Amino acid sequence: MLINFIRAIILYIIVLIVMRSMGKREIGQLQTFEFVIAIMIADLATIPMNETGVPIINGIVPILGLLVMHIFISYINMKSIKMRAFICGKPSILIYRGRIDEKNMIKERCTINELQERLRALNVDSIADVEYAILETSGQLSVIEKPEKRNSKPEDFGIIPEYEGLTYDLVIDGVIMYENLKLLEKDYKWLKKEVNKFKIEPEDALIVTINGKNEIFCQEKNSMKRKK
């Protein structure tokens, strides 16, 4: 029992490292070759985890081999457009200039009902509102609505919004984010001065953030205060 427990922990760490090395993607955004590798890794990890008679190295080596394969294929994808199209495929236009492309619908084995379902998931009520619908290589559907159906933007009214920038964490659960302070060209003395305005110390804050307008949000543990 203890051996199984230890083997499971070791394999979990190995799989976690391998999957982390494959990059940051949601499951629905994985390319076909990435999805296949992920399934194979899960299968390879299961065997030595359950079978104590199988040396754990028999599971680790193939998993590392798949990681090498993934890196190799990813490198080819970056270097060759032709190989990228062969491995990952090409996006398919399902709706072109407001008309459904039946040929591509058949090619992608996508029914009208599936298309409507995907559009509703993107808050598009009607196919009539769509100018272009593109099925990406990841399987995600990208939609460009007709001009009269799109949400208004500030530029449509000649308005230029004020630049907002990023919001940076300065304190998380009492831990000072010194790297972010350095990026902002600030120091602990400045942070302490700002947080003290909320009548607390930085180490007593659950979270402290600052946005592009230099507005500071501060929440003390078990209570909340805010300054604008």
Judgement on whether residues 68 and 44 belong to the same structural domain of the protein: yes
Both 17 and 78 in one domain: the answer is: yes
- What's the full length of the chain, in residues? 228
User: Going by DSSP bridges, is the β-strand pair 99-100/92-96 parallel, antiparallel, or unpaired?
Assistant: antiparallel
The answer to whether residues 113 and 155 touch, using CB atoms and an 8 Å cutoff, is no
92, 137 contact by CB (below 8 A): no
Same domain, 47 and 97: no
Q: How many domains does the chain have?
A: 3
Same domain, yes or no: 36 and 111: no
Position 132 in a domain: yes
Joined tokens for residue 101: 């492309």
Alpha-carbon Rg for the chain, nearest whole angstrom, is: 26
CATH number for the domain spanning 121: value is: 3.30.240.20
pLDDT at site 103: 94
Q: 143 and 173: one domain? A: no
What letter represents residue 145's amino acid?
A: E
Residue 50 belongs to some domain of the structure:
yes
Domain co-membership, 13 together with 57: yes
Q: What is the pLDDT of residue 197?
A: 94
Report the C-alpha gap between 103 and 101 in whole angstroms: 6
Q: Provide the 3-class DSSP secondary structure of residue 135.
A: strand
Q: Which of 102, 117, 149 is the last residue of a domain?
A: 149
Question: Which residue in this structure is represented by tokens 């494959």?
Answer: 22
For residues 134 and 111, state if they share a domain: yes
26/55 same-domain check: yes
Residue 106 in any domain: the answer is yes
Q: Are residues 104 and 144 in the same domain?
A: yes
- Report which of 96, 78, 97, 98 is spatially closest to residue 88, judged by C-alpha positions: 78
Domain hosting 100: range is 92-149
In a domain, 122, yes or no: yes
Whether residue 220 is contained in a domain is answered as yes
Q: Are residues 61 and 97 in the same domain?
A: no
**pLDDT at residue 29 in the model:** 62
Are 35 and 81 part of one and the same domain? yes
pLDDT per residue as tens, the chain (228 positions): 677 788 788 888 888 888 777 766 655 566 777 778 888 888 888 878 777 777 888 888 888 888 888 888 888 888 887 887 777 788 999 999 999 999 999 999 999 999 999 999 999 988 999 999 999 887 889 999 998 888 877 877 888 877 778 899 999 999 999 999 999 999 999 999 999 999 999 999 999 999 988 899 999 987 544 444
Q: Of the residues 49, 64, 86, which one is the last residue of a structural domain?
A: 86
- Domain membership of residue 159 (yes or no) is no
Q: Is 156 part of a structural domain of the chain?
A: no
* Residue 203 falls inside a structural domain: yes
Tell me, what's the pLDDT at 210? 94
Q: Is the same domain home to 97 and 119?
A: yes
By C-alpha distance, which of 191, 218, 194, 195 is closest to 207? 218
